[in-house]
Every structure is written in structure tokens, then in C-alpha cells.
Amino acid sequence: MLSHHRTCKPAEMATLMEDEVFMAFTTYAAIVIVKMLLMAPMTAYYRMTRGAFANEEDVALKPEEERKKLLRTHPDVERVRRCHQNDLESVVPFVMVGLLYALTGPELSTALLHFRVFAGSRIFHTISYVGALPQPSRALSWVAGMLVTFSMTYRVLSTVLLL
Amino acid sequence: MLSHHRTCKPAEMATLMEDEVFMAFTTYAAIVIVKMLLMAPMTAYYRMTRGAFANEEDVALKPEEERKKLLRTHPDVERVRRCHQNDLESVVPFVMVGLLYALTGPELSTALLHFRVFAGSRIFHTISYVGALPQPSRALSWVAGMLVTFSMTYRVLSTVLLL
Amino acid sequence: MLSHHRTCKPAEMATLMEDEVFMAFTTYAAIVIVKMLLMAPMTAYYRMTRGAFANEEDVALKPEEERKKLLRTHPDVERVRRCHQNDLESVVPFVMVGLLYALTGPELSTALLHFRVFAGSRIFHTISYVGALPQPSRALSWVAGMLVTFSMTYRVLSTVLLL
């Protein structure tokens, strides 16, 4: 029994990462998380080029007469921040539901369809938002991502419901 | 050994979703994530009925003299957005800690108590917030959710501490 | 086979929490999530001591002539809120990527280095932000956390890539 346990243990740790659906989930989760993380340096870039900061210590090295003027909001910075916020509201639920979805053992092709549509929709959402493309480009890309997450949630709840 | 591995692997993928505590966690996590996701269409509804938008491209189809007026904040929209933000700050940590908590193998009845109190508290929190119910209704529902998350974190850290 | 399954199942549930890397991840994830959660009571503390509230129902018990004055923003409250927001943008991705990273089976010492640097960087980030320490203290602590998350993401994608 002990030797059984010893053999089973490493097999099990590796198993999740040997399952193709879980590997696909891991890949696309990493991609959309990286996309979300890149919004922070993008905000920093817009803050610096537009000269719009939020904290006094961030402008301490500027000439004293400029400092007050730099502590302001700028439409371009606010736009990037709204895009980042939308990522938090959309990407984080996708990753959390997606993990549970992957564990319900869906078909690989079905799972890949969900993950690819989501990743594509979020990349297009960022382009639409930061580029201020005419609507409904941003709205549709947002809806596509939501539909993926709701579809995965439906699968999760219809497979595993214990109230 | 090879055939052992082959039998163990699918069993293992299925195992998490066969464990009752994990199934209960999955169910309640899905419920509170869906509740959180619904805040986005609710914000959109308030933006449209109150006529308060954040992006120029969102009002491009309106008559030109109205556009500037529609790019504004509205107390009802800001209220829904604060509620959504509170979900991000509360529901996301619950799901992340809850997953680890479920893996520590608590009693099903104890786990269900945690999950049910949390889900109930967050639904009541949303009603209190969006409906602007008199305090301390919103404060108490928020505290109940926090206590659940801290209780699960305590169990996690007292079971699995490796610094 | 049935008895095999019965033995394998509890072993498996326990296995993740017996793996040292996963235990270390669990410990540090719990620590940084608790740190993030504590930003909410800190915000409440600043709101009360600075007299700056966001909701009418939160000031309903104050004398009527004071109420309007208390519904305002205050720089100290906004500072704590920005710090909380930065936690959402940094800690949540760390926990999600860290879970996948732990499942790729890294060396314990490497994993611990990642987790410790991240936890330290976020604690120092909060001190720098709330204390308004001179830059680049906040910037550097933020960068250190980002580098950890990107390093873990690199390991995840180079181990498990299924597009």
C-alpha cells in the first residue's frame, strides 16, 4: 500500500498537466493573464507621455511649479484604466470558471473553441477600447467573452451541482 | 505499472469533481461568479436609462447637441459600479481561498455552511447596496462574507503551512 | 479495481496538499490574499477618521447639516483605495498563475524564492503606497512582484503549451 501510494503520488501531480484540456486551459489562461498584466505598464506609459499622475511622490523630481499641474486626470489615461478594469471584471472570472470547467472533462475540441474565442475576444476588446474604435466593436468583443464564460459556467453547473 | 498509470489517470481527473466538498465549492463558486458577472449588464442598464456614459464612441449615434451632456457620471451608475467593485474585492478572494480550503478536506457540512453563508451574504449585499437599504444591512452582509473567507483562510493556514 | 479506486481517491485529494511546492504556494497565496483583504477595513478606517464617505446611507446617523459635507473624497482615502486596486491588479494574477506554476512541478527552492519575493514585494508595496514613501520605493516593489509573476508565467508556458 505504501509503495502504491508512492507511485500514485507523482503520477497524480503530473496528471493535471498531462491532461490535454487542462494543458489548453493553462495555456490560454496564461495568455489572457499576461494581456491583462500588460495594461499596467501601458497605463504608466500614458501617464508619463500625457503628464497625468495620481500621487505626489510620483512627481517629486519635476520642477516645483509643474508639480500641481501634473497631478490630474487625462482622458487617455482614464481610457486605458477603464480597459484594465474591464479585464479584471472579465478575465479573472474566465480563469476561475475555466479551471473548474477544465476539471469537468469536456471534449478537447469544445474546450479549445471556448478558450480561443475568449482569448481572441479580449485581445480585440483591448484594441477596440484603447483605439476608441467605433461601436459596436468593443461591445461585441465584450459580449463574445461573456458568452464563453457563461457557456463554461453552464457546463460546470449542469455537471456538478451540489447545493 | 503502465496499465496502473492508465487506470489512475482518468480516475484522478474525475476525482476532484467526485469529491463532495469540491463539488459543493464548484457549485457555490459558480453561483457567486455569475452574480458578480451580472453587475456588468446592470451597469449598462443604468448607463442607458440614466443617460450617463464614459466613452465618446458610446454616444456617437446620439444627436450631436446631446453627446457632451451624456458623457457624465450619475449617482445610480456610480452606486452599481461600487457594488461591482466590492464584488471584485470580496468574491474573487473567496473563490481563490475556497479552492485551497476545499483541497484541505474539511467536513462536508462545515464546508457547506461556509459556502452557503458566503453566497447568501453576497446576494444580500447586492440588494442592500443597489437598493440603498439603511445601514447596517450592507455593512453586516459584507462582514458575514469576510468572516467566511477569513475562517477558510485560517483552516488553510493551520492545515498547510510551509513558509 | 474498485478497491483500487477507493484507495486512490482519498490519496489523490490529499496529494496536492502533500506536495511541498503546492503547500508552499497555498501558504503564500493565503498570506497575500489576507494582506489584500485587510485593505478594505483600512479604507473604512480612513473613511471614518477623515470623514469622507461614498453613500448617503453611510452618513444617515450624522446630524443633518453635516451629511452633505461628509459625502466627499479625501486624498488619504483615495490613496488607500489605489493601493487596494493595485493589489487586485497584482495579487489576483499572482495567485492564478502561481496555482498553474505549482502544478508544473518546479523545484521547491525555486518555487519558494518566487513566492517569498512576491509576498515581500507586496508588503513593501503597501508600506510604500500608504506611507507615501519617496519613489522609487513603490515602483521597485511593484516591479519585483511583476517580475515574479512573469517568471512563473514563462515557466508555465514553456512547460505546458497547447494552443
Tens digits of residue pLDDT in C19-74: 999 999 999 999 999 999 999 999 999 999 999 999 999 999 999 888 989 999 99
Provide the 8-state DSSP code for C19.
Answer: S
Residues of B within 8 A of C1 (CB-CB) are: 7
CB contact C140 to B (< 8 Å): no
Confidence of residue C79 (pLDDT cuts 50, 70, 90): very high
> Does residue A161 surpass a pLDDT of 70?
yes
> Does residue C12 surpass a pLDDT of 70?
no
> Does residue C112 surpass a pLDDT of 50?
yes
What φ, ψ does residue A41 adopt, rounded to 5°?
Answer: -60, -30
Taking the C-alpha atoms of residue A61 and residue B18, their distance in angstroms, rounded to an integer, is: 59
pLDDT at A22: 95
Taking the C-alpha atoms of residue C69 and residue C88, their distance in angstroms, rounded to an integer, is: 30
Tens digits of residue pLDDT in B33-85: 999 999 999 999 999 999 999 999 999 999 988 899 999 999 999 999 999 99
Instruction: List chains touching A (3+ CB pairs under 8 A).
Output: B, C
> In this structure, are residues B38 and A146 in contact, taking their beta carbons and an 8 Å threshold?
no
Q: Which three cell numbers stand for residue A106?
A: 469536456
pLDDT at A6: 38
pLDDT at A162: 87
Point out the residue among A27, A39, A56 whose CB comes nearest to the CB of C132. Answer: A56
Look at C11 and C124; give whichever has higher pLDDT. Answer: C124
Average pLDDT of chain C to the nearest whole number? 91
Provide the 8-state DSSP code for C71.
Answer: S
pLDDT at B5: 40
Residues of B within 8 A of A7 (CB-CB) are: 1, 4
Domains of chain B: 19-161 (1.20.120.550)
Point out the residue among A7, A93, A150 whose CB comes nearest to the CB of B36. Answer: A93
Provide the 8-state DSSP code for A57.
Answer: G
pLDDT at A14: 58
> How distant is the Cα of B112 from the closest Cα of chain A, in angstroms?
8
> Does residue B16 surpass a pLDDT of 60?
yes
Q: What are the angstrom distances between the C-alpha of A10 and each of A14, A21, B3, C5? A: 6, 20, 16, 17
Overall average pLDDT of the B14-25 stretch: 89
Tens digits of residue pLDDT in A77-135: 999 999 999 999 999 999 999 999 999 999 999 999 999 999 999 999 999 999 999 99
R_g of chain C computed on alpha carbons: 21
Tens digits of residue pLDDT in A4-45: 443 333 345 558 888 999 999 999 999 999 999 999 999 999
Q: Which three cell numbers stand for residue A138?
A: 468593443
> Does residue C3 surpass a pLDDT of 80?
no
For chain B, the helix, strand and coil percentages under 3-state DSSP, each to the nearest 5: 80, 0, 20
Neighbours of B70 (CB within 10 A): 17
Provide the 8-state DSSP code for C134.
Answer: P
> Does residue A1 surpass a pLDDT of 50?
no
pLDDT at C163: 87
Pairwise CB contact (< 8 Å): A92 & C97: no
Average pLDDT of chain A to the nearest whole number? 91
CB contact B151 to C (< 8 Å): no
Label residue C25 exposed, middle or buried (CB < 10 Å: 0-12, 13-18, 19+): buried
Sign of the Cα pseudo-torsion (B42, B48, B50, B53, in order): positive
Confidence of residue A2 (pLDDT cuts 50, 70, 90): very low
Average pLDDT of chain B to the nearest whole number? 91
> In this structure, are residues A35 and A123 in contact, taking their beta carbons and an 8 Å threshold?
yes
Q: What are the angstrom distances between the C-alpha of B6 and each of A3, A6, B11, C13? A: 17, 16, 9, 18
- The single residue listed with the C-alpha cell 459580449 is A143
CB contact C18 to B (< 8 Å): no
Taking the C-alpha atoms of residue A41 and residue A44, their distance in angstroms, rounded to an integer, is: 5
Question: How far is C-alpha A98 from the geometric centre of its chain's CA atoms?
Answer: 12
